[in-house]
A and B are shown apart, each in its own frame.
Chain A
């Protein structure tokens, strides 16, 4: 497993480099380039511009600028300053990141909590009423646009029934209160989770049905094991392997979904921060968010890889 993880870690290095280059290009492609921090909405004499350029190293070759920028990011966590608020980008992101992580992991948790049992039950009662309903539900589930689902959830649970708050993370002015936080978390995390409940339950069903046909199931029966023991001991473990792969592959999708969900539910995470940064063309902030969100996605992918290696002995003992 050590070898496998080392290889995985090494593989993320080119990925990180590509993302870093993308981010660097981004700031240079913006109208006015990196200078626009100083020129934005102001008139500055050409002589001063040259002076600023010199002091920022903008007259140096591009690769020098790239490595300088990279050094600042990696060693000092310096992502520049927001055009709009003039606060450090890293500080803005750092404030919002926990909220996004909370939302993503709640959605992930809910997705697994619902998708796996639904998938398992569908596979066991193949072509039953439950299976039929679950199939239809999942088709509808991944056909509904997530932002519309969010709006409908607000319409029903906030506007009509008044049961749950329609946005935010907690009741303003109230001290920290877990129940209050959960109340605010329910709608966005369920809305975010629905697509994944829909698709992962299908994957689980398909994978389980495939593994139930494997020969080692016959062996297990020939040993005298009960069907329940066979399912939970022999089949499920093998069925989980491809499902975990898919869950890992779809983690970027959860992040994409979080951007939309945060926007609708006024959830102060980095998705919503990105939305506002985009509206105001706040390029340093956009760049920083892109970098951090890529990191989040890569890290969660690595977690999925570890989980995958853990349940798959072929990788664990390579």
Chain B
């Protein structure tokens, strides 16, 4: 089956006074219809910029300097702006992190949902309104017909995120980009929203790219693939079970360890990653992760590792991948 989206060596740089910030520096992946990809990493590692680059929503001083984004075979990077606009919100939709600031405070919610429908579908205002109300109902807003006229500030965080999801769903997109969709919400609400996204993804059979710093969430939406990013680059990519049970990059390994497992009780010590995420303008020489890596050797300080396939569908960018739990050693 031909992949729905294929990102090839994508590079998005920000040209600042202080220097060039390489937010995304050569990221590649592909995703088939109905599949789910989780992009994981600390804040500032380029996850969000990757998603924005797919939609070509990076604004100056940011710029896509290289790469291809093939969506159903067409390269989005070289597409005309008007053509691109027909894809945004229609074929590819995005759910943003903070529903308060990403919703317009001056418009009622049904207006913000039906706006997308009016834009991309040939329907009357009345039909668009009806569709908007139906969508609000579908994403679980109680008494949707009355609440449709509410403004964002009158809703709770969870309800706002539901509006955001309704907006993204309105044209049944082929690809959903969800950027930390639960981070700004209460813990109790997080699970509900996650379930909603999962349910909708199953139902519409669309593909989903979930961006998060939380590996638990990646498992929560039953991702097929996981991509771990660090300092603008892919450090590890693989099927979810490969990442969870056979993580090969020291960074992925530390991320898993920094994540408290309730089921394992107190047996495994919760261990935060030492050090801070790197300064993207002034990256360390060699492997970007070397200042924080326990296993860093001389080679890691000199030479940046390339992404290599160590097992089928499992790629790692590390000179010395951790292969302890594998039955066989490096091939």
The answer to whether A and B come from one shared complex is yes
Q: Is A47 an interface residue (CB 8 A)?
A: no
Q: Is B210 an interface residue (CB 8 A)?
A: no
B-side contacts of A312, CB under 8 Å: 106
Q: Is B266 an interface residue (CB 8 A)?
A: no
Q: Is A300 an interface residue (CB 8 A)?
A: no
Q: Chain A: interface secondary structure?
A: helix
CB of A215 within 8 A of CB of B151, answer no
CB of A216 within 8 A of CB of B89, answer no
B-side contacts of A214, CB under 8 Å: 101
**Complex CA distance for A311 and B57, rounded to whole angstroms:** 28
Name the segment of A65-73, A220-228, A254-262 touching the other chain. A220-228
Nearest opposing residue in chain A for B113, CB measure: A223
Partner of A238 from the list B57, B87, B106, B167 (CB cut-off 8 Å) is B106
CB of B90 within 8 A of CB of A314, answer no
CB of A224 within 8 A of CB of B106, answer no
Give B162 Cβ to nearest chain A Cβ, in Å. Answer: 15
B-side contacts of A314, CB under 8 Å: 105, 151, 153
Partner of A223 from the list B89, B108, B150 (CB cut-off 8 Å) is B89
Per-position binary interface string of chain B over residues 146-157, scored 1 when its CB falls under 8 Å from any chain A CB and 0 otherwise: 000011011000
Q: Is B102 an interface residue (CB 8 A)?
A: yes
Partner of B116 from the list A223, A226, A238, A317 (CB cut-off 8 Å) is A223
Q: Is A125 an interface residue (CB 8 A)?
A: no
**Complex CA distance for A241 and B104, rounded to whole angstroms:** 13
Q: Is B96 an interface residue (CB 8 A)?
A: yes
Q: How many A-B residue pairs have CB under 8 A?
A: 74
Per-position binary interface string of chain A over residues 215-239, scored 1 when its CB falls under 8 Å from any chain B CB and 0 otherwise: 1101111111110000000100110
Q: Tell me whether A224 and B96 are in contact in the complex, defined as CB-CB below 8 angstroms, given that A216-B101, A218-B57, A219-B103 are known contacts.
A: no
**Complex CA distance for A221 and B93, rounded to whole angstroms:** 11
Give A44 Cβ to nearest chain B Cβ, in Å. Answer: 66
Interface residues on B, range: 20 to 34
Q: Is B98 an interface residue (CB 8 A)?
A: yes
Give A273 Cβ to nearest chain B Cβ, in Å. Answer: 43
B-side contacts of A224, CB under 8 Å: 85-90, 116, 119-120
B-side contacts of A14, CB under 8 Å: none
Most buried by A among B86, B106, B107: B106
CB of B88 within 8 A of CB of A223, answer yes
A-side contacts of B87, CB under 8 Å: 224
Give B113 Cβ to nearest chain A Cβ, in Å. Answer: 10
CB of B85 within 8 A of CB of A226, answer yes
Nearest opposing residue in chain A for B96, CB measure: A219
CB of A218 within 8 A of CB of B106, answer no
Q: Is A172 an interface residue (CB 8 A)?
A: no
Interface residues on A, range: 20 to 34
Q: Is B77 an interface residue (CB 8 A)?
A: no
Nearest opposing residue in chain A for B55, CB measure: A222
CB of A225 within 8 A of CB of B154, answer no
B-side contacts of A317, CB under 8 Å: 150-151, 154
Q: Is B115 an interface residue (CB 8 A)?
A: yes
**Complex CA distance for A225 and B89, rounded to whole angstroms:** 9
Q: State which residues 163-192 of B face A: CB under 8 Å.
A: 164, 167
Partner of B93 from the list A216, A222, A226, A313 (CB cut-off 8 Å) is A222
Q: Is B229 an interface residue (CB 8 A)?
A: no
CB of A237 within 8 A of CB of B88, answer no
CB of B115 within 8 A of CB of A219, answer no
Q: State which residues 17-68 of B face A: CB under 8 Å.
A: 52, 55, 57
Q: Is B94 an interface residue (CB 8 A)?
A: yes
CB of B101 within 8 A of CB of A225, answer no
A-side contacts of B93, CB under 8 Å: 222
A-side contacts of B119, CB under 8 Å: 223-225
Nearest opposing residue in chain A for B116, CB measure: A223
- Known interface pairs A216-B102, A218-B102, A317-B150; 16 further A-B residue pairs with C-beta atoms within 8 A, sorted by A's residue number: A215-B96, A216-B101, A216-B103, A216-B105, A218-B57, A221-B57, A222-B55, A223-B88, A223-B115, A224-B116, A234-B106, A237-B106, A311-B106, A312-B106, A313-B151, A317-B151
Which A-B residue pairs are the 5 nearest by beta carbons? Answer: A223-B89, A224-B88, A224-B89, A215-B101, A216-B104
B interface residues with partner A (beta carbon < 8 Å): 52, 55, 57, 85-90, 93-94, 96, 98, 101-108, 115-116, 119-120, 150-151, 153-154, 164, 167
Please, could you name 17 A-B residue pairs with CB atoms under 8 Å apart, sorted by A? A214-B101, A215-B102, A216-B102, A218-B57, A218-B102, A222-B93, A223-B89, A224-B85, A224-B87, A224-B116, A225-B85, A225-B115, A225-B119, A234-B107, A313-B105, A313-B106, A314-B105
